[in-house]
Amino acid sequence: MADILTPPWPLSWSIGLFLLAGTVTVLGSVRLVALGDTLADRTGWGEALFGAVFFGLATSLSGIVMTAVTAAGAQPQLGYGNAVGGIAAQTTAVAVADAFHRRANLEHAAASLSNLLFGALLIALLSLALLGSFAPGATVAGLHPVSYALVGCYLGGLHLIRRAGASPPWQAVATTETLPDVPHEHGDLDRRRAAWLWRRFALVGLLVAAGGWVIALAAESLLLVTGLSAGFVGASLMGAVNALPETVTAVAAVRRGAPTLAIAAVLGGNSLDALNLVIGDIAYRGGSIYHAAGTQELFVTATALFMTAALLGGLLVRQACGWGRLGFEGIVLLGTYAVMTAVLVT
């Protein structure tokens, strides 16, 4: 039995399990959209903060498990690549969701101080990750100091964002295309008790996490059987599947008329994916995961940093309409991700 659960597996098994687990994460994420949108209104937290924290956590569970399993299995480059590759792919999901927003550029309609601040927080987290790779490799209690800094930066950022939301010193100018975050009807879910909604939200999140465990093992098997580079498997293949929950969540949220939730789910999920590096640092016993990252992993980190800056610029500029119904940032995101993937393949 242990041999069956331990890769490498035959190539057909690896591909089949990879695709099956990816499908499970997608279907689970669709259900999370409806539950999360209802809970955002029921708790009064609003789509931006609820989406970034709880949605981000639930949709990042698969990525957390992927990074932990691969790092513990002596594949730190896979774990690191999954975390930062997922951020790049999930940021591209904003452009995908924008294509489903019929009226105007998604970033224009989803103007939110919380989303802007989460974008700034993500830039800080990715910068810390890069600094960790160039800093001395000393550890404290088995972890690199940057891991502690990442956790402190994330918690401090959440505190500041929550305070800013309570009495915002800055507000986006409302236009005819701005869709405000206001409570709306959710069908049968409005008749459910809050406890039932929370339980269902947690159960679906665990299902998504289980999918992440299978994906991690299948990715290790693909690496061993095919001889593909860890950078490509981790950042492109695992990263793309890691991004599926946020992509589906963003598209579904747009179709439900919750654009603020769509952006928040991506930025919140990305911020938690940056913390995946801390999980990987804990699981990896061969030293610092930041120093195990190779050239390809650092390249993907820098790419994700650039893409986040482009998205933040789009949220600030709020272009109402651009090329092909996408804002300038959507074109930049799609083009950058395509170039990154091409570089990793070569």
For residue range 32-44, list pLDDT tens digits in order. 767 876 777 777 6
User: What does each C-alpha distance from 327 to 107, 238, 258, 275, 277 come to in angstroms?
Assistant: 8, 27, 18, 29, 31
d(CA 204, CA 29): 8
pLDDT, residue 299, reads: 96
What's the whole-model pTM score?
0.81
- Closest by CA to 25, choosing from 64, 54, 70, is 64
d(CA 118, CA 137): 29
User: pLDDT class for 241, splitting at 50, 70, 90?
Assistant: confident
pLDDT, residue 2, reads: 46
Name the more confident of 144 and 34: 144
Which residue has tokens 């769509």? Answer: 262
For residue range 286-311, list pLDDT tens digits in order. 899 999 999 999 999 999 999 999 99
pLDDT, residue 108, reads: 62
Highest mean pLDDT among 10-19, 21-30, 109-118, 208-217: 10-19
d(CA 314, CA 301): 20
Which residue has tokens 């989460």? Answer: 118
For residue range 54-66, list pLDDT tens digits in order. 666 766 777 888 8
Cβ count near 183 (within 10 Å): 14
Long-range contacts of 173-178 (CB under 8 A, 24+ apart): 173/111, 174/111, 175/108, 175/320, 177/103, 177/104, 177/108, 177/109, 177/320, 178/108, 178/109, 178/111
pLDDT, residue 282, reads: 95
For residue range 107-123, list pLDDT tens digits in order. 666 667 888 898 999 99
**Facing residues of 143 across strands?**
140
Name the more confident of 335 and 5: 335
Lowest mean pLDDT among 182-196, 240-254, 261-275: 182-196
pLDDT, average across residues 51-79:
79
Res. 228: pLDDT tops 60: yes
